[in-house]
């Protein structure tokens, strides 16, 4: 009985059959392999370039680190948050008590232009300059002059004494000036000067208060909160209310809450002070690897960066690099200089500053509780290096799969074609891998 030939026996017997029935690879397969090699080289260049072309929500942690770049080449100043830096910022924070450092008690009321003054002159006996000998029975040897305003020259007029300087003087000083002018003509003269209508030494409280008004300064002395209370108090919640004090051409602004919680800011008001209350909602913006991204309100008159990060849900445990928390802020030039920044390359009164807070160090959390936020601050938390590497590997996998999938499809197509035209069992190998 003749033995039946198998496919392998036929290939051994006639090599032409084996050639005809075997699946063939595409002729341009070496070109595809070269394309795959070029793709690998391109991917390596992406790695060397620092993955700058990969998607991201902000600068990488490597770009913002001071020890990896030349500070003089940056368009901003980099400052690492330390206890010394926090002390400098605290000394330069927005507080009225740090601008107006005068801690004296209430100011004396002094006459000014427009004030109405009364003058009473006494003599020791009748027969003097103002009291005639035959004046008869009188309750006292004195004469009261008609009330008069302080003129535009700052003077009042007293008969036989001439113009008496009143502007900028207290009542006692004006009395002394009158006595000195009359002592050679009147009998042991004495004078009593009183303020009838006080206009020059007044205090103005304006803005978002119950009753904006201008009222005379109290000789007993009043503090900022007293003056605000006389005007009806603030209309809006205190944590969004700010107080601006203007005095002798200088201004200082502070949160209303600082007057309540920090008594050094509740200073005495002085004549001609202007107090202005306004509402300004305090907000900050968070980006990067935080729990939430967006704009957040302070909800308090003072907010630390630790509380701000808490409002955003903290750092994202799967993405964030705790050592790369950055706060972006424009600081006044004088403050930036005290921080040690080189301000020579910046023009204008505001210097862009980026503060780096390292929360990988446990001491960083103590610093975060003291670091005070400002309105419109921006917090950015950078991704960890491992996250960037993972992005890169996914990107490389996408590139290689894009080239590999058509190549393997072509190989499988030729294999199936060979099986369809031949006999026997040739295995189709599919090495295509999916990208998720």
Taking phi first (over 0 means left), then psi (-120 to 50 degrees means alpha), and beta for anything else, what does residue 154 get?
left
Strand 377-383 and strand 202-207: pairing? unpaired
Query: Could you read off the pLDDT of 266-306 as tens digits, one per residue?
Result: 999 998 899 999 999 999 999 988 889 999 999 998 999 99
User: Across the chain, what does the average pLDDT equal?
Assistant: 81
What is the pLDDT at residue 19? 43
Residues contacting 363, CB < 8 A, separation 6+: none
What is the pLDDT at residue 397? 77
Identify the sign of the CA torsion 393, 34, 53, 323. Answer: positive
Judged against a pLDDT cut of 90, whether residue 108 lies above it is answered with no
Identify the sign of the CA torsion 87, 269, 266, 279. Answer: negative
Question: What integer is the mean pLDDT of 227-238?
Answer: 88
Question: What integer is the mean pLDDT of 423-436?
Answer: 49
Question: What integer is the mean pLDDT of 327-356?
Answer: 92
Query: Could you read off the pLDDT of 375-427 as tens digits, one per residue?
Result: 999 999 988 877 767 766 777 777 777 777 787 888 888 788 778 887 444 45
Query: Could you read off the pLDDT of 234-274 as tens digits, one per residue?
Result: 988 778 899 999 998 999 999 999 998 888 899 999 988 99
Where is pLDDT greater, at 42 or 202? 202
**Cα–Cα separations (whole angstroms), residue 251 to 246, 247, 269, 322:** 4, 6, 13, 39
Judged against a pLDDT cut of 70, whether residue 78 lies above it is answered with yes
CA-wise closest residue to 98 among 248, 273, 252: 252
Judged against a pLDDT cut of 70, whether residue 73 lies above it is answered with no
Q: Looking at the DSSP assignment, which residues form a beta bridge with residue 143?
A: 121
- Domain 66-88+290-383, architecture per CATH: Roll (3.10)
What is the pLDDT at residue 101? 81
Instruction: Write down the pTM of the prediction.
Output: 0.68
Judged against a pLDDT cut of 90, whether residue 65 lies above it is answered with no
Q: pLDDT-based confidence at 62, cuts 50/70/90?
A: low
CA-wise closest residue to 168 among 108, 236, 235: 108
> Contact at 8 Å (CB) between 379 and 305?
yes
Residues contacting 38, CB < 8 A, separation 6+: none
What is the pLDDT at residue 420? 80
Query: Whole-angstrom Cα distance, residue 34 to residue 38?
Result: 6
In SS3 terms, the chain reads as CCCCCCHHHHHHHCHHHHHHHCCCCCCCHHHHHHHHHHHHHHHHHHHHCCCCCCCCCCCCCCCCCHHHCCHHHCCCEEEECCHHHHHHHHHCCCCHHHHCCCCCCCCCCCCCCCCEEEEEEECCCCCCCCCCCCCCCCCCCEEECCCEECCCCCEEEECCCEEEECCCCCHHHHHHHHHHHHCCCCCCCEEEEEEEECCCCEEEEEECECCCEEEECCCCCCEHHHHHHHCCCECCCHHHEEEEEEECCEEEEEEHHHHHHCHHHCCECCCCCEEEEEECCCEEEEEECECCCEEEECCCCCCEHHHHHHHCCCECCCCEEEEEEEEEEEEEHHHHHHCCCCCCCCCCCEEEEEEEECCCCCHHHHHHHHCECCCCEEEEEEECHHHHHHHHHHHHHHHHHHHHHHHHHHHHHHHHHHHHHCCCCCCCCCCCCCCC
Question: What integer is the mean pLDDT of 340-352?
Answer: 89
Question: What integer is the mean pLDDT of 9-28?
Answer: 45
What is the pLDDT at residue 291? 87
CA-wise closest residue to 200 among 272, 276, 275: 272
**Cα–Cα separations (whole angstroms), residue 428 to 205, 410, 411, 420:** 89, 11, 9, 12
Judged against a pLDDT cut of 50, whether residue 22 lies above it is answered with no
Tally of CA atoms within 13 A in the half-sphere of 344 that contains its CB: 4
Rounded to 5°, the CA angle 129-176-152 comes to 95
Where is pLDDT greater, at 319 or 126? 319
Query: Whole-angstrom Cα distance, residue 411 to residue 23?
Result: 9
| CATH numeric code, 116-197 | 3.30.1950.10
- Domain 96-105+201-279, architecture per CATH: Roll (3.10)
* pLDDT > 90: percent of the chain: 46
Question: What integer is the mean pLDDT of 358-369?
Answer: 94
Residues contacting 409, CB < 8 A, separation 6+: 432
Query: Whole-angstrom Cα distance, residue 335 to residue 350?
Result: 9
Query: Both tokens of residue 331?
Result: 């600081």
Taking phi first (over 0 means left), then psi (-120 to 50 degrees means alpha), and beta for anything else, what does residue 288 get?
left
Judged against a pLDDT cut of 60, whether residue 196 lies above it is answered with yes
What is the pLDDT at residue 344? 86
Q: In what order do the strands lie in the sheet with 274-279?
A: 213-216, 202-207, 274-279, 241-247, 250-255
Where is pLDDT greater, at 255 or 12? 255
């Amino acid at each position: 009985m003749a033995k039946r030939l198998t496919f392998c026996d036929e290939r051994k017997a006639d090599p032409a059959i084996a050639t005809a029935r075997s699946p063939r690879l595409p002729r341009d397969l070496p070109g595809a392999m070269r394309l795959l090699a070029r793709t690998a080289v391109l991917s390596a260049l992406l790695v060397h370039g620092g993955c700058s072309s990969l998607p991201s929500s902000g600068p990488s942690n490597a770009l913002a680190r001071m020890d990896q770049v030349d500070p003089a080449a940056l368009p901003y100043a980099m400052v690492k948050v330390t206890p010394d830096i926090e002390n400098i910022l605290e000394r330069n924070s927005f507080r009225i008590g740090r601008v107006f450092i005068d801690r004296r008690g209430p100011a004396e009321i002094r006459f000014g232009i427009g004030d109405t003054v009364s003058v009473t002159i006494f003599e020791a006996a009748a027969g003097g300059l103002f009291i005639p000998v035959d004046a008869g029975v009188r309750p006292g040897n004195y004469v009261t002059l008609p009330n008069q305003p302080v003129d535009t020259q700052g003077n009042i007029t007293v008969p036989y004494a001439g113009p008496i300087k009143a502007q900028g003087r207290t009542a006692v000083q004006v009395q002394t000036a009158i006595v000195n002018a009359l002592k050679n003509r009147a009998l042991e003269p004495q004078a009593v000067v009183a303020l009838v209508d006080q206009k020059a030494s007044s205090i103005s409280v304006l803005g978002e208060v119950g009753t904006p008004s201008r009222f005379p300064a109290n000789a007993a002395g009043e503090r900022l909160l007293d003056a605000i209370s006389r005007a009806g108090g603030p209309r809006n919640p205190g944590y969004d209310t700010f107080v601006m004090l203007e005095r002798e051409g200088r201004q200082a602004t502070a949160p209303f809450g600082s007057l309540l919680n920090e008594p050094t800011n509740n200073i005495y008001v002085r004549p001609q002070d202007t107090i202005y209350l306004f509402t300004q909602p305090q907000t900050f913006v968070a980006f990067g690897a935080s729990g939430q991204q967006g704009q957040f309100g302070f909800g308090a008159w003072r907010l630390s960066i630790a509380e701000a990060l808490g409002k955003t849900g903290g750092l994202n445990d799967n993405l964030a690099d705790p050592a790369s928390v950055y706060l972006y802020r424009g600081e006044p030039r004088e403050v930036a200089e005290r921080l040690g920044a080189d301000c020579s390359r910046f023009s204008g009164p505001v210097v862009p500053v980026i503060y780096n807070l390292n929360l990988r160090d446990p001491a960083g959390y103590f610093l975060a509780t003291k670091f005070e936020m400002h309105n419109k601050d921006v917090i950015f938390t950078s991704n960890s290096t491992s996250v960037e590497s993972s992005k890169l590997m996914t990107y490389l996998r996408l590139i290689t799969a894009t080239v590999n999938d058509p190549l393997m499809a072509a190989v499988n197509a030729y294999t199936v074609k060979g099986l369809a035209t031949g006999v026997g069992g040739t295995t189709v190998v599919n090495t295509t891998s999916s990208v998720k």
